[in-house]
Amino acid sequence: MGESEGLWRKFPKTLAEFEAAFPDDEACRRFLIEVRWGGAPRCEQCGCAEVWELSNGRFECSACGYQTSVTAGTPLQGTRKPLRLWFRAIWEMVARKNGISAKDLQRLMGFGSYRTAWVWLHKLRRCMVRPARERLDGTIQIDDAYVGGLDQRPGRPNGNKAVILVATEAGGRVRLEHAPNLTGATIHEFAQRNLAEGTRVTSDGYRSYSAKSLAGRPHSAHVQKHKRHLPEDPLQQAHFAVSLVKRWLIGTHHGAVREKHLQAYLDEFEFRYNRRKTNGTGRLVARVLQILVNSPHTTESALYQSVPARRFR
């Protein structure tokens, strides 16, 4: 991935250091070259390491003549905004403990439209899931929750609310997914994607949590009889994560989250939660930049596509 341990150790830790390290576009560009190619650009088409740097900032392969740039094939492809502006937006988004809304980003960055800020944030949210990340391991708590909608009837399914599946690792990471339903097949797919083989799973007594849906993983079911967040709550970590994500959706984004974009917001929350013990804001910003230059290009129209929209309240 072109990274070096020393590069990340020297990454700015404060906003003042960040602005000093990236005063212009060229500094940002050189940093991305270091992250993407280890400081030695190569042809993305044939892999040749003999490339020429052109006056427009592109690199031309001496073997096949193919031209590329450090942002080609990444979420920054085709941007007309300065790289320094993108770097600052990443800092504003990641450095804040509770993130930032598109409206606040628009105000801080001086964007002419809310849409620009919204698109930028959603492109960056797609850079908050590390490719080929390890599945949760050890002792796992798995649960479900509902967000949004206006129907407050109890039980499953819950009217027009959206379903979230959550799995938490003992004292560690969390996985959150927007699920279409709570059938055994859906839970089976969620478990296979997010839980390592042989993990020990604790769930509530809902019938869809079974040996079959959990692919034979050791399973302990507890019918919920006590108030949540008490020491005897067998799903306390899962309940805590759900409580935090609901509070975050309301507090930072004022509930203005549409169902077709819910997973992107869950990815951002997951990124923050799983790195809550990271020492230093700069390390979080560096991680997003690292994933960004290795993430595929996403068009603006693709960000708007998905299931029919529903506003969360």
Domain ranges of the chain: 1-39+81-125+279-313, 41-70, 139-277
pTM of this structure:
0.87
pLDDT tens sequence across 252-301: 888 788 888 999 999 999 999 999 888 888 889 999 999 999 898 888 88
Reading across the β-sheet that carries 59-61, which strands appear in turn?
Answer: 51-53, 59-61, 67-68
For helices 114-125 and 83-95, what crossing angle results, to 10°? 70
Find where tokens 């068009």 sit: 299
User: Which residues in the chain show pLDDT less than 50?
Assistant: 1-4, 153, 156, 307-313
φ/ψ of 254, rounded to 5, equals 55, 30
Which two tokens mark 66? 């193919």
Task: Tell which CATH classification among 3.30.420.10, 1.20.1440.230, 3.40.190.10, 1.50.10.10 matches the domain 139-277.
Answer: 3.30.420.10
Sheet containing strand 139-147, strands side by side: 174-179, 162-169, 139-147, 200-204, 219-222
